[in-house]
């Protein structure tokens, strides 16, 4: 393990919304939600260095204490935010965090499908740091593709990170080496 740190920035609202609206078509049940601790373990195992997890959430002046305690017990630092109704406080905070990380010797994994972070993540890619996007392949913003072409890693939350306990009802292009007809019978 190196002395370097990987910062795992989680846009939980985006991942939850994508899971509910685009994949399940309904509000996820507790057993269908990501096992957030697996993101931290994945980051540590993948890049073999210490990990700091920051989980950004809109608290709207009400701290969701049971969720915050759960995040803390998993090793995340909860970042509860509030602002005006017209402000996307989670996006703003992640953007500012990415900008601040530009001045640090650290690596970054961002868990979000949202393209609102491309501008702030772009200067971090290809320099003396590792960057990765953790998202659902078919729902990630297309603006990330040029960053991936420049060297940013991409890891699918379900297939690579294995953040879920059960298989999600996703439609994806299946490499023939992974095709199992029993999945369809």
Does 1 score more than 70 pLDDT?
no
For CA atoms 14, 35, 168, 27, give the dihedral sign. negative
Region 13-38 average pLDDT: 92
Could you give the CA distance from residue 7 to residue 97 in angstroms, rounded to a whole number? 10
The average confidence (pLDDT) of the chain is 93
CATH architecture of the domain covering 2-183: 3-Layer(aba) Sandwich (3.40)
HSE-CB for 126 with a 13 A CA cutoff: 8
Using CA atoms, how far residue 137 sits from 14, 131, 155, 185, in Å, is 14, 16, 8, 24
Region 59-76 average pLDDT: 90
Does 83 score more than 80 pLDDT?
yes
Could you give the CA distance from residue 14 to residue 57 in angstroms, rounded to a whole number? 10
Region 116-143 average pLDDT: 94
Choice among 8-17, 121-130, 175-184 with the minimum mean pLDDT: 175-184
Region 94-116 average pLDDT: 96
DSSP H or E run through 51 = strand 49-58
């Amino acid at each position: 393990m190196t002395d370097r740190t990987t910062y795992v920035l989680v846009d939980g609202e985006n991942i939850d919304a994508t899971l509910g609206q685009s994949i399940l078509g309904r509000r996820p049940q507790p057993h269908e939600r990501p096992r957030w601790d697996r993101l931290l373990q994945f980051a540590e195992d993948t890049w073999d260095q210490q990990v700091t997890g920051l989980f950004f959430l809109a608290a709207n002046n009400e701290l969701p204490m049971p969720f915050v305690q759960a995040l803390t017990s998993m090793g995340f630092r909860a970042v509860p935010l509030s602002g005006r109704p017209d402000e996307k406080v989670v996006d703003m905070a992640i953007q500012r965090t990415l900008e601040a990380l530009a001045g640090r010797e650290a690596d970054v994994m961002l868990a979000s499908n949202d393209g609102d972070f491309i501008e702030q993540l772009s200067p971090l890619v290809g320099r003396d740091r590792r960057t990765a996007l953790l998202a659902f392949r078919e729902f990630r913003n297309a603006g990330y593709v040029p960053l991936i072409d420049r060297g940013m890693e991409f890891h699918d939350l379900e297939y690579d990170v294995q953040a879920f306990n059960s298989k999600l009802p996703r439609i994806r292009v299946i490499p023939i080496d992974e095709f199992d007809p029993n999945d369809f019978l």
